[in-house]
Structure 1
Amino acid sequence: MIDSKIKYKEYLKADKAALSIHGSGVSLYIRELVAPNYIWKFQKRLRKLEYYKNCKKGFINKAYYFWLKSRHRKLALKLSFSIPENVFGPGLSIAHYGTIVVNSKARIGKNCRIHVCVNIGASGGIPKAPILGDNVYIGPGAKIFGDITLGSNIAIAANSTVNKSILEDNILIAGSPAKKIKEIDVSNIIPNLKNKSF
């Protein structure tokens, strides 16, 4: 969770790397003016909201937070993202525009790559939502719900339904209901992990 300005900058840097956005300063600013990357814009606003929600106090900062939230909500509606603050760790990579719905009680670790038509939510009137580890790839159409926990360095195949805890790391899970298919190296499908040890 972002709890300082240093953490805020670290999250932005990790998200930028996860989205493979290169350059900085004036060149990046001009590129964003000419051909905006709306996913990067969304993620920057999300991180700024988290920073103001968690770190800034006082009436003026709270008023600014609500103004930011209003602007962020408009962009979220345009992109069909329903992603609340303080859910994803650093290194979030939203792969494409399209419907993504995430419960505010879900917790997802660092370096998550998430695709369209994903739903991460509660189930059966129980307010608890999934907790996912680090370095998780979530394929298009995956549904993850309930009071469950998933391990780290895993891939969830497209259109899978995950409704029970799977604590094993370094695996591919798939199916409806999902189960372990095989062991994998998730760095082959999450590009920004190639040069990292985790």
Structure 2
Amino acid sequence: MPIQSKKDLKYYLEQDRIALKHPAGFVLKKDSIWKFEILLRKAEYYCNCMPGILKIIGSLYKRRLYRLGLKCGGFSIPVNCFGPGLSIAHYGPIVVNNTAKVGKNCRIHEGVTIGATGKNGQAAIIGDNCFLATGAKVIGDIHLGNDIAVGANAVVTKSFLEDKITLGGVPAKKISNHSSRDFLADGLFDN
């Protein structure tokens, strides 16, 4: 569910802060990843919630988001793809197709791609509490269940609807029954 109100914006930002394990109340001056996530959420709010001419504010936030994404090593993350609790782990290239939908509490590392195939242009739908390790690729119109961890450099090209599993390899297959929860911030699950 995308941000639809000021209350949603505050909730998303708080969940993202918890996911990143940041102290409450301030933004560290040199923390570009947290600044990027704040801009992402504000762009979502203004694009989704402002009527008419005020949507221009959303476009301005998206432009700032694009520039900061380049400074962070190539983040290409469109608005309205991630639920609350997004945690970008490191600087480096991250590419997400604008048709991708990722549930709450996603931790994503550098080198990750969530892309579409040329066939229908649709990217993956990924459930809640996912962990995408360094270099993971999730390609095509596929679905992944909840509490899934995708291992480093895995290439996922088919759906895995089973919850609480780890995927790895090229092409990806189920490699264990371990969920993603060990990789996510504990405070996300208190709510």
TM-score in same-fold range (> 0.5): yes
What is residue 121 of structure 2 aligned with on the other side? Answer: 127
Match for 1:81 among 53, 75, 80?
Answer: 75
What is residue 10 of structure 2 aligned with on the other side? Answer: 9
- Choose 1 or 2 for highest CA Rg: 1
Structure 1: which amino acid aligns with 2:43?
L
Q: Distance in 1 between matches of 2:11 and 2:140?
A: 30
Match for 2:64 among 71, 81, 87?
Answer: 71
Q: Percent identity?
A: 48
Change in 2 beyond 3 A, CA 1:98/1:134: same
Q: Distance in 2 between matches of 1:6 and 1:84?
A: 21
Deviates further, 119-128 or 174-183:
119-128
Say yes or no: does 1:47 pair with 2:48: no
State the Cα distance separating 1:69 from its structure 2 match. Answer: 1.8
State the Cα distance separating 1:15 from its structure 2 match. Answer: 0.2
Change in 2 beyond 3 A, CA 1:77/1:171: same
Alignment of 1:13-162 (within 5 A): 13-24=14-25, 28=26, 32-33=28-29, 36-59=30-53, 61-79=54-72, 80-162=74-156
Structure 1: which amino acid aligns with 2:31?
N
Structure 1: which amino acid aligns with 2:51?
K
State the Cα distance separating 1:70 from its structure 2 match. Answer: 1.7
Q: Tell me, what secondary structure is at the counterpart of 1:17?
A: helix
Q: In 2, are the aligned partners of 1:188 and 1:194 still within 8 Å (CA)? A: no
Deviates further, 179-188 or 131-140:
179-188
Q: Distance in 2 between matches of 1:135 and 1:115?
A: 14
State the Cα distance separating 1:23 from its structure 2 match. Answer: 2.9
Cα deviations by residue, 1:79-100 (Å, 9 ceiling, x for unpaired): 1100000000000000000000
Q: Distance in 2 between matches of 1:83 and 1:195?
A: 22
Change in 2 beyond 3 A, CA 1:170/1:150: same
Q: Which runs of 5+ in 1 are unaligned?
A: none
Q: In 2, are the aligned partners of 1:134 and 1:151 still within 8 Å (CA)? A: yes
Q: Distance in 2 between matches of 1:48 and 1:99?
A: 22
Aligned length: 189
Q: Distance in 2 between matches of 1:150 and 1:43?
A: 23
Report the TM-score, using the length of structure 2 for normalisation: 0.94
Say yes or no: does 1:188 pair with 2:189: no
Q: Distance in 1 between matches of 2:187 and 2:35?
A: 24
Query: Following TM superposition, where does structure 1 have runs of at least 4 consecutive aligned residues deviating by more than 6 angstroms?
Result: none
RMSD: 1.5
Q: In 2, are the aligned partners of 1:172 and 1:182 still within 8 Å (CA)? A: yes
Q: Distance in 1 between matches of 2:35 and 2:11?
A: 16
